[in-house]
Amino acid sequence: MEVHHHPHLASGGEKKKFKEYFLEFLMIFLAVTLGFFAESLREYITENKHAKEYAREMVSDLTSDTTDLKIYIKYTRYAANNIDTLLQLMSSDEPQKIPSGKLYWYGLFGGAHGHFVPHDATIHQMESSGSLRYFTNDSLNRNVAQYEQLCRSWERLEDVDVGIYTEVRKARAKIFEFKYNEAANDIYQANKTSLNEPAIDSFIQSNPPLLTYNKTLFNEYIEMIRSRFLLYQIGDADTLLFHAITLIDQLKKDYNLKDE
């Protein structure tokens, strides 16, 4: 008796084998896909954590900047106002006709030099390591870049002013005797948080002697003071302060640092 093979049985076996392959493929695909999403989520969580840490550090740096800038602005504005008074005095009369105490007091501030150095360690670290990419807000990145650019511009202008400042001090030393300058400076330093007007008035009325009344030397000193453009420096400091405060607010908002 002949044995007949039934083709339909063979085809049924092939279908079963295809399903097994398909299921294996599907399981591998799902595993890879889930692994990819899990890795992406892990990276997102890690980068967001790093971003918050950097944001916290940057807020700390910027807070120090705002404190220092406010001190700088207050001091430099006071110095600029006193310089304006000196210019008015020199414009209205000859040096020998002006009480020497006034010349010493107001002349002292021609050599004023406020000091502000940006606390930019976090920005530099993020730039060098490529970590700025952790900040995914384009507006925040632009503001960080703008603040960093303002800081670099400030440092360049500061370098220029330091050179002029040194020459101003040399010119001042030709007119005003050191010990009386030091006495005037001691009065300012002792009372700079809340100026002691009686102490200032007492010094002005003491009329300490000058080294010279030479008009040419006075003119040289005045012109060098004018070349420092302290009001422009105050304007630049005001701009930096505004951007620092804006950046602090944005970082706190983006990374929920309000209560930290």
Q: 13-41, pLDDT tens digit by residue?
A: 455 576 776 666 767 766 666 666 655 55
Q: What is the mean pLDDT of the chain?
A: 86
> Which residues does 177 contact at the CB level (< 8 Å), separation at least 6?
208, 209, 210, 211
Residue 124: how many CB atoms within 10 A of its CB? 10
| 170 pLDDT tier (thresholds 50, 70, 90) | very high
Best CA proximity match to 58, nearest among 6, 135, 127, 119: 119
188 and 112 Cβ atoms separated by less than 8 Å: no
pLDDT (tens digit per residue) in 86-135: 999 999 999 999 999 999 999 999 998 888 999 999 999 998 888 888 89
Flag whether pLDDT at 1 surpasses 50.
no
Q: Residue 57: what pLDDT?
A: 95
Which tens digit of pLDDT belongs to each residue from 35-53?
666 555 566 556 678 889 9
- Residue 227: HSE in the Cβ half-sphere, 13 Å Cα cutoff: 15
pTM for the full model? 0.80
| pLDDT surpassing 60 at residue 11 | no
Q: For the chain, what percent of residues have pLDDT higher than 90?
A: 59
